[in-house]
C-alpha cells in the first residue's frame, strides 16, 4: 500500500509589497501598487488594500490606477526581493530535508514520515513562525496529501494564516470552491467551463473524465484529477543554478562580423528562453571570444535583473564589439548569464509594456510547443535552426 504523503505549501503574502513595508512602515495599511509607473506599465504586485478595488497582478497599470486612484505606486527593487527570498529559503533549508522552491515567494515541503516523530502540522507551524520572526514577512501555509490541495489550502488560509486538510477530506474541501481556485485553470479554461455550466469544483468532480478529455485534450484528465484532489507529482529537490551559458566553436575560424553577431543573437535568444522557462532572471552578462591562436578574452557587465531579449541582446552585442579588437580570425564565442535569481518575467517588468510581456509569453509558448527557434529574430535564423549547447552552473 502506498504511504500517505504530507506536503506543505508555503506562500509569502503580497510578497513585493510586504518587503517594501519592511523598509518603510509608512506604507502599512495603504493601497500599494508595485510596477511600471507609466500608463503602459504592468502591476507586478499589489496590497490587499488595493485588491479590494478589483486590482490584481499582471493588470495594466492604467486600469489599476483608474480602479484605485489613491494607490501609491512603487517601481520595485528586485535585488531587495531576491535577498529576502534567499533568507526565507535558507531557513527552510535548515529545517527540512526536502523542499522545492517553485518561485521567488513560493515553496513546497515534503514532510512525509515526520508524523511518527513530531507531527507534520506542528512542524510546519513552527517553520512558519520562525520565518515570520526572523524575516518580518507574513507567510501562509497549507498542508495536505498533495501539492494541488495544499496550494489551494494556502489560498484559502491567506492572509498570514495556515490550514490543514486531513487525509480523505480533499474532495469535500475543494467541492464548494470556484473552478478558478484549481491550479492550471486560468481565464481561458474557466470561461470554457462557465460556458459548459461548470462554476464550482463539485460539478467538475461529478463529470466524467472522458468529457473533460474531449474538451481539453490531455489536460482534461489532469483537470479532473486535480478537482478530485488527486496529484501524484513529487516535490522536486531544490538546487540553485548560479549561471547558464553556451559556447560555439566554429568549424572554420571566421572574421565575418555579421555572422558572429547573428550567432550571438541566436545564443542569447536561446538562453533568455531558458531563463523564462525556469522563472529566472540574470544580473550579470558575460561574453567570451577565443581567437584562432587560442588567445581568450571575456568581458562582463552587471545590470538590473531581467530575462528580456530586448535588454540582453544589445548588451551582448556591445560587449562583443568592445572585446573584438584584434581583427584576426575567431575560433569560439560564448555567452554567459550569472547571478541568477528566481522570479517570473512578467513580475519583473517594472518599466516594460503589456505588449512586450504578451510578445515574450507568446514566443515562449510557441517555442515550448514546437521547439526552439520556431519563432525568433530574423537575424538569428541566418545561423539555421540549430540549438547551441547550454549548460547550468549548479551550486555545489
User: Whose CA is closest to 202, among 247, 171, 233, 241?
Assistant: 171
Shortest CA distance to 9 belongs to which of 155, 131, 132?
A: 155
Q: Which of 106, 162, 261, 269 is catalytic?
A: 106
CB 241 within 8 A of CB 395: yes
Cell representation of residue 216: 481539453
Cβ atoms of 109 and 124 within 8 Å: the answer is yes
Ligand-binding site membership of 24 (annotated): no
Torsion from C-alpha of 375, 277, 354, 148, nearest 10 degrees = 130
Give the CA distances from residue 234 to residues 11, 112, 121, 149, in Å, rounded to whole numbers and listed in that order: 18, 11, 19, 13
Catalytic residue at 106? yes
Cell of 171: 474532495
> Cell 489551494 maps to which residue?
152
Q: Is 334 helix (H, G, I), strand (E, B) or coil?
A: strand
Is 105 annotated in a binding site? The answer is yes
Rounded-to-integer distance, Cα 385 and Cα 252, Å: 19
Question: From the annotation, which residues make up the binding site for Mg(2+)?
Answer: 11, 105
Instruction: Tell me the catalytic residues.
Output: 106
Question: From the annotation, which residues make up the binding site?
Answer: 11, 105
Amino acid at each position: 500500500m502506498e504511504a500517505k504523503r504530507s506536503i506543505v505549501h508555503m506562500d509569502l503574502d503580497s510578497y513585493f509589497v510586504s518587503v517594501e513595508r519592511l523598509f518603510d512602515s509608512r506604507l502599512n495599511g495603504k493601497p500599494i501598487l508595485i510596477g511600471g509607473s507609466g500608463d503602459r506599465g504592468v502591476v507586478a504586485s499589489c496590497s490587499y488594500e488595493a485588491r479590494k478595488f478589483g486590482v490584481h497582478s499582471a493588470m495594466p497599470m492604467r486600469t489599476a490606477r483608474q480602479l484605485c486612484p489613491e494607490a501609491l505606486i512603487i517601481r520595485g527593487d528586485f535585488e531587495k526581493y531576491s535577498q529576502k527570498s534567499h533568507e526565507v529559503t535558507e531557513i527552510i533549508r535548515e529545517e527540512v530535508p526536502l523542499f522545492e522552491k517553485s518561485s521567488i515567494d513560493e515553496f513546497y515541503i515534503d514532510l512525509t514520515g515526520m508524523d511518527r516523530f513530531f507531527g507534520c502540522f506542528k512542524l510546519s507551524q513552527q517553520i512558519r513562525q520562525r520565518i515570520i520572526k526572523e524575516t518580518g514577512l507574513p507567510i501562509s501555509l497549507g498542508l495536505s496529501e498533495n501539492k494541488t490541495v495544499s496550494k489551494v489550502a494556502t489560498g484559502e488560509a491567506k492572509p498570514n494564516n495556515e490550514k490543514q486538510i486531513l487525509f480523505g477530506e480533499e474532495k469535500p474541501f475543494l467541492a464548494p470552491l470556484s473552478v478558478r481556485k484549481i491550479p492550471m485553470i486560468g481565464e481561458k479554461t474557466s470561461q470554457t467551463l462557465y460556458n459548459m455550466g461548470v462554476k464550482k469544483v463539485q460539478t467538475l468532480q461529478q463529470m466524467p473524465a472522458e468529457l473533460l478529455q474531449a474538451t481539453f485534450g490531455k489536460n482534461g484528465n489532469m483537470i479532473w484529477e486535480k478537482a478530485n484532489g488527486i496529484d501524484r507529482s513529487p516535490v522536486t529537490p531544490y538546487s540553485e543554478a548560479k549561471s547558464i551559458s553556451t559556447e560555439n566553436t566554429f568549424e572554420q575560424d571566421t572574421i565575418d562580423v555579421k555572422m558572429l553577431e547573428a550567432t550571438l543573437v541566436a545564443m542569447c535568444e536561446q538562453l533568455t528562453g531558458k531563463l523564462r522557462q525556469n522563472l529566472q532572471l540574470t544580473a550579470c552578462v558575460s561574453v567570451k571570444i577565443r581567437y584562432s591562436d587560442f588567445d581568450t578574452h571575456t568581458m562582463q557587465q552587471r545590470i538590473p535583473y531581467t530575462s528580456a531579449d530586448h535588454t540582453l541582446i544589445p548588451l551582448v552585442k556591445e560587449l562583443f564589439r568592445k572585446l573584438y579588437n584584434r581583427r584576426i580570425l575567431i575560433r569560439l564565442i560564448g555567452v554567459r548569464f550569472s547571478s541568477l535569481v528566481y522570479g517570473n518575467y512578467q513580475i519583473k517588468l517594472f518599466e516594460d509594456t503589456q505588449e512586450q510581456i504578451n510578445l515574450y509569453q507568446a514566443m515562449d509558448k510557441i517555442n515550448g510547443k514546437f521547439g526552439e527557434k520556431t519563432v525568433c529574430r530574423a537575424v538569428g535564423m541566418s545561423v539555421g535552426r540549430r540549438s547551441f549547447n547550454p549548460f547550468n552552473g549548479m551550486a555545489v
